[in-house]
Structure 1
Amino acid sequence: MRIASVRCHVLRWPEPNDFNHDRMTVLVRVESAAGIWGWGEAIAMWPEACKATVAVIEDGLAPLLAAAGDIDVDAAWRAMKAHSWWYGEGGIAALAISALDMALWDIAAKDRGVPLVELLGGAAHAALPACASLHVNQPTIEESVREIAGHVEGGFRSTKLGLGKRGLSRAGRDPDYDIALVGALRGAIGPGPGIMVDAGNGTTWDIDTAIRTVGAMAAHDIAWIEEPFHPGAIGAHLALQAAVPTPIAAGEREWSDAGYRRWLATGAVEIFGIDPARVEGVTGFRRAAAAVEAAGKTVNAHAWSTAVLTAASLHLSLACPAAKLFELKPLPGPMQFDLVDEPFWHEDGVVRAPARPGHGADPKEAVLRRYQAV
């Protein structure tokens, strides 16, 4: 393909799944000389990071691709990696590459008239079980359980509980509260649906607290414990792994396939969260997922932003034999239900990719204007 134009959109919106706090991202529209456009996302999150990501795209990577003439997706990814050798790997460079690479894959699939999953080697799964990925933010355990159980009753096959988030809940700040929450939820939804626990950045456990807390949660059959410590605390992950039967999930803060190979070498993690809006795009996701799959571990797409990221993540997950489920935000929000004409949702508890060409998420201009941040 030959690149004709690149346009960035920095968006800010109130996210119902984050207690209506503002979140931010960068969407990128790339158009080829043949008039085919594709969309990508860089989940930069903070205002200064969004601005920096746009600068790297507009002043560095977009001119590079435009000057390259006819170029395929793999060559474009390699050119961007080579160009950013001094200020990558990771950080703003990875975010910028992610958005452009995702958009180029979208163009390539549209050019061939096929869904993105077909360019990724075809579907390993016809559909994946839907997981309600949420932040626990109700003031009491009873209210939280009522809300979460409602999502399961609505068809979700599992739920992931984000602790230590913004809102009204003490979840993530009181281990006994967290244990009681998981126990009450298991009692409400029964033995079938899955429960995952995401400790996250807002939860601070030492090793002894993590062992006690996760060990007690294991009695309620949680499927995994996610991000129990800072990613740099490899020894803590290994100590927890040795002490509890629950698998550990991590990886959403990694930047490249090299980071995932480093994690794999530790032997501490079973479920690897991979975010194509962070990990150098669709190409980066595929490279990381191939390493995880070869090691016999599980891939889980971290897709908690706009419908553009959801779309790319869904096609990638369906093409990946190591993926086991797909996470969706359970509360309707503008970046999932207003941004595109056909929102991504589950049917009878499973998620399928759209049959239309590309990844299937083309944002509406009116919605982009409404939430444009700068």
Structure 2
Amino acid sequence: MKVASVEAIPVSYQEPTDHNRFRSVCLVKITDRDGRVGWGESCAYFPEATLATARIIEGLAPIVIGRNPLHTEAIWHDLKQHSWWYGTGAGIASIAISGIDIALWDLKGKQLGVSVLDLLGGPVRDTLPAIASLHGTDASIDKMAEEIAAHTATGLHGAKVGFGKAGNANLGFDEARDLEFVDKVQAAMGPGKDLMIDLGVKNFWDVPTAIRRARAFEERNVAWLEEPLGHDDPSGYAALRAASGIRIAYGEREWNAVGVQRIVQSGTVDVIGLDPGRVEGITGFRKAAEICALNRRQANAHNFSTAIVGAASQALSFASPACYLLELQPVYGPAQSDLVDRPIWHRDGSVNRPEGPGLGIEINEDLVQSARMDR
């Protein structure tokens, strides 16, 4: 039953929904003494951060080896306590702990023969609506609107579109172009489909700009506006909240439940993004989502990585009262479609429920080895 080994595996892959750019994450493989394996993922995204995360995981491994995988909470606390100097409150330690924790939950489920969803207490809803999550990358607004509408025509309930991303879309900079984009996408999708706007790090708006833009988006029934003032601007978000009724989203760059509690208590956020590969794993996500639920805020899994984080997001979103929907990348690459035997997907706009022990997935280790960054 006890953990025999912890392996950090930094990998790189092309992401079709991010203009085919290469992304990097660190996978975590934890094996018990009977040969059962749990898999996790640390979402560092950049090569140097991924390699650094791998070294931290290797440094944390002695805390996990020899332990009972059923004791996820105790191990999680020990990992946090050990990393007190380089991980207090924030930092790459949280990303490393995330991958270890997800792998332990997967292994725990496999040892017990039950799903992570059941370990979390079971589903709190029968169905989980799905939306498309993608970046705007093309110079042609008409082409982007056509592509987004094609995705939502499969039953997806709407689309969250990233502005300021790689490619030639040039969204989030020129107000007239952005409003044309919103109008044409909504017209192409048709009634009953939500549109969410997610500002990128290249989009730098001051508070008056954010207020003006938010009011224009609100008039067009944009479902929420994400990170219009970045991830940390308490006074700016307070001013935006007072001046506009649009739903405000941010939080995916928080490292843990303490950070989520801080922004929830500010009263300036309606939708809190949570990434299980960053927010200290399934254990950390669960704690953060509970804060959202207790404060009547929506939590939203930042499911924009490999199929491992996808499976964790799937289980957590079904289990959390704060999660009302799940983002899905509408175009899968090998990191989503080929990495596992049963990638998360939807049927007529509803996410399939997890099946099987642990995360309910088996990993294509040949693909993992071919994507390694350290060999």
Aligned mates of 1:199, 1:230 — CA distance in 2: 8
Structure 2 residue matching 1:87: 3-state secondary structure: helix
Aligned mates of 1:69, 1:371 — CA distance in 2: 30
Aligned mates of 1:293, 1:5 — CA distance in 2: 36
Q: Name which of structure 1's ranges 360-369 and 133-142 shifts more when overlaid on structure 2.
A: 360-369
Shift of 1:95: 0.8
Aligned mates of 1:82, 1:360 — CA distance in 2: 30
Aligned mates of 2:137, 2:70 — CA distance in 1: 47
Match in the other structure for 1:183: 183
Structure 1 residue matching 2:272: 3-state secondary structure: strand
Shift of 1:71: 6.4
Match in the other structure for 1:82: 81
Aligned mates of 1:223, 1:332 — CA distance in 2: 25
Aligned mates of 1:332, 1:273 — CA distance in 2: 21
Cα distance, 1:323–1:71 mapped onto 2, change above 3 Å: closer
Match in the other structure for 2:369: 369
Aligned mates of 1:330, 1:16 — CA distance in 2: 10
Match in the other structure for 2:234: 234
| TM-score, structure 2 as length reference | 0.97
Match in the other structure for 1:98: 98
The one-letter code sitting in structure 2 at the alignment partner of 1:43 is C
Superposed, which structure 2 residues align to 1:142-221 within 5 Å?
Answer: 142-221=142-221
Shift of 1:338: 1.2
Structure 1 residue matching 2:245: 3-state secondary structure: coil
Shift of 1:361: 2.9
Aligned mates of 1:140, 1:69 — CA distance in 2: 54
Count of aligned pairs:
373
Q: 1:46-101: CA deviations, max 9, x gaps?
A: 1111111111111x211121155676111111111111111113211101110001
- Contact 1:165–1:172, Cα closer than 8 Å, also in 2: no
- Contact 1:256–1:279, Cα closer than 8 Å, also in 2: yes
2:112 is equivalent to residue 112 of structure 1: yes
Aligned mates of 1:191, 1:242 — CA distance in 2: 29
CA RMSD of aligned residues (A): 1.3
2:254 is equivalent to residue 254 of structure 1: yes
Aligned mates of 1:24, 1:214 — CA distance in 2: 33
Tell me, which stretches of 5 or more residues in structure 1 are unaligned? none
- Contact 2:224–2:246, Cα closer than 8 Å, also in 1: yes
Aligned mates of 1:178, 1:70 — CA distance in 2: 49
Cα distance, 1:69–1:355 mapped onto 2, change above 3 Å: closer
Aligned mates of 1:368, 1:359 — CA distance in 2: 17
The one-letter code sitting in structure 1 at the alignment partner of 2:51 is K
The one-letter code sitting in structure 2 at the alignment partner of 1:162 is G
Superposed, which structure 2 residues align to 1:1-374 within 5 Å?
Answer: 1-58=1-58, 60-68=59-67, 72-89=71-88, 90-374=90-374
Q: Name which of structure 1's ranges 277-286 and 178-187 shifts more when overlaid on structure 2.
A: 178-187
Aligned mates of 2:67, 2:322 — CA distance in 1: 35
Aligned mates of 2:62, 2:228 — CA distance in 1: 41
The one-letter code sitting in structure 1 at the alignment partner of 2:311 is A
- Contact 1:176–1:213, Cα closer than 8 Å, also in 2: no
Q: 1:294-344: CA deviations, max 9, x gaps?
A: 001101001100000000011000000111110011112111011112221
Q: Percent identity?
A: 43
The one-letter code sitting in structure 1 at the alignment partner of 2:358 is G
- Contact 1:131–1:157, Cα closer than 8 Å, also in 2: yes
Shift of 1:102: 0.5
